[in-house]
């Protein structure tokens, strides 16, 4: 019997009488049921958030900080239960699930230390002009299925710190851990400050167009991001969009093959490749292409694909059937076009679970679908390049602009290349490192606005300038 999970509205765990099934992608078994909310529940959640905003926005920031840090501690204290549940609904191996849970706590607690100080624009004999940041109001947070808890806290923590209240919607594919966390933290903040409701994809547009929500913070696909922008345009809601990516990693000829092979592998295959900033196109200089591609392939053959709850699993299943079908389609397309596979490529349709084998392609053309499109699965195309100019142009030849990496023994050359990449983040000689103090966001169709850092916090506020004319009444 699947366990029933409840939603958090106005400090209480509620149900609607209608339930949605949540499936374990490793077994395809229904492991939980969550409320199917519609307009009525959304209206209740927004009303609670609106009422709570009156006092929460006036609550001293120090108190807001402590409340967020209290929630981070609840996550830490319950991390074992949470990461096991996360693996069962999302599929990622226990070690990576633990990383997400502990990372969510760390990022939230760290973000809580940020400040938005007033800025003096002018302090002359004539006037004093000051910019202060005021919270936008009620925030609608919409979260995808690849990092459900990290993304939820990435929205809850800065909303709370800025003085906003929030109505958060997890993905219908992965709501369980977030709802368990909701239950654990329901008394940590005043009622209505954080509300978490679940529903089908139809709930998202209701949030986007709700007249009493002031801002949408969204993480998900570029296609949905465009719909959010359309929905939010009706009343000019503020929006932050963290969307898809097709990130390029560039490996220069002076990179240490032994050292980078394993790191490059995990930059693509962590979370079964379902990371917005996963390395999705790997460009290797022709001088080291053969040696490095063989080293990556040799390492890949040591990694086990399987149920994330089993010890020794390195790569779990794809999170849901729709995404599984999409990744299979890209692999089939590569086969149909005769591209060469270094590793994998044969999906076994028998048995249960959405498993795709670790798949590495050997120098497919630039216009191959598996290169040009965001795969979001355990697939890694390796491509050869000759010159810096050529590889920069190829890396930038994408509608996306989320992140990228350069691997080199010469960090100055790495930085020079990084500065020419059209992306929001570039790593030199590492991957996937996000800082709570640095803005994270995309260029081009990877979205706009930022999360994390002071820039991320500002997105939950309006600027208000107060100008005082001195001696006007003298």
User: Which residue numbers are catalytic?
Assistant: 242
13 DSSP β-pair partners: 8
Angle at 457 between CA 189 and CA 453, to 5 degrees: 115
Q: Measured from the CB atom, is 226 or 470 closer to ligand NAD?
A: 226
C-alpha distance from residue 343 to each of 273, 314, 327, 329, 377 (Å): 15, 16, 15, 17, 14
Q: Measured from the CB atom, is 246 or 313 closer to ligand NAD?
A: 246
CB of 384 to ligand NAD, least distance (A): 26
Contact call for residues 148 and 172 (beta carbons, < 8 A): no
Quote the CA–CA distance of 68 and 289 in Å, as a whole number: 47
Binding site for ligand NAD (CB under 6 A): 142-146, 169, 171-172, 201, 204-205, 208, 219-221, 224, 227-228, 242-245, 276, 374, 376, 402, 442, 447
Contact call for residues 249 and 279 (beta carbons, < 8 A): yes
CB of 401 to ligand NAD, least distance (A): 11
Residue for token pair 């905003």: 53
240 DSSP β-pair partners: 217
CB of 443 to ligand NAD, least distance (A): 11
The burial class, CB within 10 Å (0-12 / 13-18 / 19+), for 102 is: middle
CB of 445 to ligand NAD, least distance (A): 10
Q: Measured from the CB atom, is 140 or 414 closer to ligand NAD?
A: 140
Residue 289 makes CB contacts below 8 A (sequence gap 6+) with: 363, 382, 384
CB of 190 to ligand NAD, least distance (A): 26
CB of 227 to ligand NAD, least distance (A): 4
Is residue 410 classed as helix, strand or coil in its secondary structure? Answer: coil
* DSSP label of 352: S
30 DSSP β-pair partners: 23
Quote the CA–CA distance of 370 and 356 in Å, as a whole number: 15
Q: Measured from the CB atom, is 23 or 243 closer to ligand NAD?
A: 243
Other Cβ atoms closer than 10 A to 245? 30
Is residue 435 classed as helix, strand or coil in its secondary structure? Answer: coil
Q: Measured from the CB atom, is 376 or 427 closer to ligand NAD?
A: 376
Q: Measured from the CB atom, is 163 or 442 closer to ligand NAD?
A: 442
Q: Measured from the CB atom, is 67 or 425 closer to ligand NAD?
A: 425
The burial class, CB within 10 Å (0-12 / 13-18 / 19+), for 349 is: exposed
Quote the CA–CA distance of 409 and 240 in Å, as a whole number: 36
CB of 207 to ligand NAD, least distance (A): 6
3-state secondary structure 91-104: CCCHHHHHHHHHHH
- With CB atoms as reference, the residue minimizing the distance to ligand NAD is 204
The HSE-up count of residue 79 (CA atoms within 13 Å, CB side) is 18
Helix (H) or strand (E) holding 147: none
* Dihedral (Cα; 11, 4, 181, 314), 10-degree rounding: -170
Q: Measured from the CB atom, is 88 or 293 closer to ligand NAD?
A: 88
CB of 112 to ligand NAD, least distance (A): 20
* DSSP label of 167: E
């Amino acid at each position: 019997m699947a366990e029933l999970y409840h939603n958090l509205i106005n400090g209480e765990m509620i149900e609607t009488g209608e339930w949605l099934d949540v499936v374990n992608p490793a077994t395809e078994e229904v492991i939980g049921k969550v409320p199917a909310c519609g307009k009525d529940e959304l209206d209740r959640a927004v009303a609670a958030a609106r009422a709570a905003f009156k006092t929460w926005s006036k609550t001293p920031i120090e108190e807001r900080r402590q409340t967020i840090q209290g929630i981070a501690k609840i996550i830490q204290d319950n991390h074992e239960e949470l990461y096991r549940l996360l693996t069962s609904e999302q599929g990622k191996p226990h070690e990576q699930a633990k990383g997400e849970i502990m990372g969510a706590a760390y990022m939230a607690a760290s973000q809580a230390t940020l400040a938005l100080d007033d800025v003096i624009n002018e302090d002359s004999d004539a006037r004093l002009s000051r910019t202060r940041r005021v919270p936008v109001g009620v925030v609608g947070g919409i979260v995808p299925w690849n990092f459900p808890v990290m993304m939820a806290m990435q929205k809850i923590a800065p909303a709370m710190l800025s003085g906003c209240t929030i109505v958060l919607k997890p993905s219908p594919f992965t709501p369980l851990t977030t709802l368990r966390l909701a239950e654990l933290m329901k008394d940590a903040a005043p009622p209505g400050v954080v509300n978490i409701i679940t529903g089908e994809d139809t709930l998202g547009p209701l949030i986007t167009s709700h007249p009493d929500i002031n801002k949408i913070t969204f993480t998900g696909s570029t296609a949905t991001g465009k719909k959010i922008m359309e929905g939010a345009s009706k009343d000019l809601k503020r929006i932050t969009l963290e969307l898809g990516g097709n990130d390029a990693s560039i490996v220069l000829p002076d990179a240490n093959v032994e050292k980078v092979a394993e790191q490059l592998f995990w930059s693509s295959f962590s979370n079964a490749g379902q990371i917005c900033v996963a390395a999705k196109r790997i460009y290797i200089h022709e001088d080291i292409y053969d040696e490095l591609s063989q080293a990556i392939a040799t390492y890949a053959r040591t990694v086990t694909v399987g149920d994330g709850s089993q010890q020794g699993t390195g790569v779990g299943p794809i999170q849901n059937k729709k995404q599984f079908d999409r990744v299979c389609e890209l692999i089939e397309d590569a086969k149909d076009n005769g591209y060469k596979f270094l590793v994998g490529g044969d999906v076994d349709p028998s048995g249960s679970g959405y498993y795709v084998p670790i798949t590495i392609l050997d120098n497919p053309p630039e216009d191959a679908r598996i290169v040009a499109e965001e795969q979001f699965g355990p697939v890694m195309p390796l491509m050869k390049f000759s010159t810096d100019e050529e590889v920069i142009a190829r890396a930038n030849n994408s509608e996306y602009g989320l992140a990228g990496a350069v691997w080199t023994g010469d960090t100055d050359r790495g930085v020079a290349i990084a500065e020419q990449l059209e992306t929001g983040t570039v790593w030199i000689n590492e991957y996937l490192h996000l800082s709570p103090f640095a803005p994270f966001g995309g260029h081009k169709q990877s979205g706009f606005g930022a999360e994390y850092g002071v820039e991320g916090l500002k997105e939950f506020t309006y600027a208000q300038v107060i100008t005082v004319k001195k001696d006007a009444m003298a």
